[in-house]
Amino acid sequence: MTIHLYMGNEAIGMGAVHAGVRFVAGYPGTPSTEVLETVAKANDGSIHVEWSTNEKAALEAAIGASWSGARALVTMKQVGLNVASDPLMTLSYIGVKAGLVLVVADDPGPISSQTEQDTRSFGKFSKVPVLDPSSSGECYGMIQDAFEISEKYSTPVILRPTTRICHACGTVKTRGGIADCAPAEAFKHADVDENDPSWDEGRTKPEGFVRDTLRWVVFPRTSYENHGKVERRATQMAEDFAESYHPNRIEMSGKRRAYNDPSWQNLGKASDAASFGVACGGISYHYVREALERLGADVPIMKVSTPYPFPVKMAQSFLNMCDEILVVEELDPVIERELVSLCGQDYLKRTIHGKLDGTLPYAGEQSVENVTKVLAGLLGIPAEQAAFTSAGDLATAPKPAIPARPPVLCAGCPHRASFYAVKKAVGKRPAVFCGDIGCYTLGNAAPLDMVDTCVCMGADITIAQGIKTVDPEKIVFSFIGDSTFFASGITGVINAVYNRHDIIICVLDNSTTAMTGMQPHPGTGHTMMGVDGSAVSIPAIFDALGVDNVTVNPLDAEAAQAAVRDAIEKTGVRAIIFKSPCVNISKPLHPPVVINQETCIGCHKCIDQIGCPGIIIRDGRVEIDETLCFGCQLCRSICPTGAIEKGEE
């Protein structure tokens, strides 16, 4: 067997490849992005891989692949599931043919998202099974399990890693066994190399789509009948998950005994009740294990890897075992509510701590330190006994002060020039600036201060319409990126045209999906299959919709401001396309600028008006950080004395 050090997302991608996935689609979104990219890198040509225009398109294409007999994978982050929810809710009723799995990466914190929504709750709402991995090894194993479960029960399946699982690295045993996710007998083929062709023996070519209107066409009557099937399916899965799925387990943990020590095996009987236990899932499982080890405590742990359908029988055994339980999970109290419900159902008097009673916070990530503190209090262990030892001392040692690093547009970013052009052209006129999700959200920071609203992808264009309707005296702008325009902006443009709204749409076109790692999109013409397609023209879309539009380079400050002034004088739906490539995909335009200290009067306008990180103050003087300056020369158009000069070619 081969052992790799894989990031969680890499483990998911390779697990899907080894599971025989044939169709992979998604929309980039941190922390999920590397899953699809891993599949693309490992693709031998037998897998179709694509960045779709949005998550809804990705899932619907994957449904077609599944119904044609090909295993399909869809990747997104938690807010992307909102976009894909329409087809998913119906697919849960209709079912699949070949396995179809959605990798939906949750972002507790949130670290790079606008919400902390919990996909486990969405799984229960949509009646779609959810697997919750706790390590890179489980990521590799569970994605393969997910395809098997999908086909066994004819249902889509959600794999829900969180940010720490997606981006942390761990050892993964590939093909021959599954680290952390299977009993010892799973390693029976440990001597077979992962590239051995025998792994693919018996794998058949997809048969293609077979017409069956009673199965694949949704009607109200069939939905009614399928609803009953879905509920019965969930009950059967819950029983199977409780009895035979190894990642769901009750174990003993702590310093003194490993979970597989035979001395605890009878704890599932009521007569062997323990006084205290911990229920957990996902990354919280490892937090709990480490916390108990540091405390030297030996208590039973219930590890829930299938939050929906919930493994009821296993949970009932755990409740019979413990009088008092702490539930540790991110984010919603999913496991906690299930345990409380079972206590009521079975007339059990148990004390359950977690989010519902305020023992643990609702928002944000859990941590080893926080779990250790809570466990010490509940177990009555003195605080000094919970001290971190050896390498753990680093966690409690005094930490040096870390300078604040608020998110900021890169030096030379063309979006800064776009925002500045609009700000200068608008002047003191009353205006509203509706923003969107992406790098351009950073335009809200001082000194630009050019984002007044931000909700979700594509909402800038439609929110602008509502504001202008109610507050017609203001000039209303919407700012959207090129990738987001294709993902969810076009519908808003059509709505604006149809309903005769009076707004100015600013498309900040930097020729990539920058915020999530420079992925291509329809406007670039590049695909994940290594071929160039036909680039979709944003101006042509506006032309087809009858929207007056102009394309301008935002780094040409005079022309950019003139374009904005011209748009202000017009009415109806009109668009300005600020087109200039992202600094991360292009070469510097010019050498770094220099400041003539004899001419500089220290007015700081170059700093106060655009906030470029390449302009700094050193020893009381304004200077250029040559390691950051991209040579965009926007600052030269601001300096009142011409002290900012071109650098030498």
User: What is the CATH classification number for the domain harbouring 605?
Assistant: 3.30.70.20
564 in any annotated domain: yes
Both 264 and 342 in a single domain? yes
Q: Would the CA dihedral through 563, 564, 566, 567 be positive or negative?
A: positive
Residues 56, 12, single domain; the answer is yes
Give the span between the Cα atoms of 393 and 456, in whole angstroms: 42
Burial of 433 (0-12, 13-18, 19+ CB in 10 A): buried
* 584: in domain: no
Is 588 part of any domain? no
| Domain housing 541 | 414-579
Model pLDDT, residue 189: 58
Domain match, 237 and 255 both? no
> Distance between CA 307 and CA 245 in Å, rounded?
12
Instruction: Round to whole Å and give the CA distance between 486 and 464.
Output: 18
Instruction: Return the SS3 of 83.
Output: helix
Same domain, 167 and 194: yes
Of 522, 556, 579, the residue that ends a domain is: 579
Mean pLDDT, 10 residues at a time, the chain of 649 residues: 88 94 94 95 93 93 94 95 94 95 94 88 95 94 94 96 94 65 54 70 79 84 89 94 90 54 48 77 94 88 95 94 94 95 94 95 90 92 65 59 81 94 96 91 90 91 93 95 94 95 96 88 88 90 97 96 97 97 90 92 93 92 92 93 87
Written as six digits, the tokens of 513 are: 């999906």
Last residue of a domain, one of 243, 264, 279: 243
Domain check: are 115 and 230 in the same one?
yes
SS3 324: strand
Task: State pTM to two decimals.
Answer: 0.88
Decide which of 579, 614, 631 is a domain's last residue: 579
> What pLDDT is recorded for position 270?
41
Is 365 a member of any domain? yes
Q: Looking at the structure, do residues 273 and 226 belong to the same domain, yes or no?
A: no
CA dist 260 and 267 (Å) reads 12
Same domain, yes or no, for 222 and 343?
no
Nearest CA among 121, 64, 128, 123 for reference residue 98: 64
User: Please, are residues 270 and 325 in contact by the beta-carbon 8 Å criterion?
Assistant: no
Q: Is 298 helix (H, G, I), strand (E, B) or coil?
A: coil
Instruction: Give yes or no: residues 323 and 438 share one domain.
Output: no
Please tell me whether residues 38 and 159 are part of one structural domain: yes
Residue 72 to residue 247: CA distance in whole angstroms: 23
Tokens standing for 422?
């609009």
- What confidence score (pLDDT) does residue 260 get? 46
Q: Examine residue 76 and state whether it is found in any structural domain, yes or no.
A: yes
Q: Does residue 26 form part of some domain?
A: yes
pLDDT value of residue 267: 52
pLDDT at 269: 43
Q: Please check whether residues 478 and 352 belong to one and the same domain.
A: no
Burial 187-204 (b: 16+ CB within 10 A, else e): eeeeeeeeeeeebeeeee
CB count in 10 Å sphere of residue 312: 17
Instruction: With respect to residue 70, please indicate whether it lies within any of the assigned structural domains.
Output: yes
- Please report, for the domain that includes residue 493, its CATH number: 3.40.50.970
3-state secondary structure of 187: helix
Q: Tell whether 150 and 299 lie within a shared domain.
A: no
Tally of structural domains, the chain:
4
Distance CA 505, CA 436 (A): 12
**In the 3-class helix/strand/coil scheme, how is 557-592 assigned residue by residue?**
HHHHHHHHHHHHHCCCCEEEEEECCCCCCCCCCCCC
Residues 237, 270 within the same domain: no
Contact 289, 241 (CB under 8 A): no
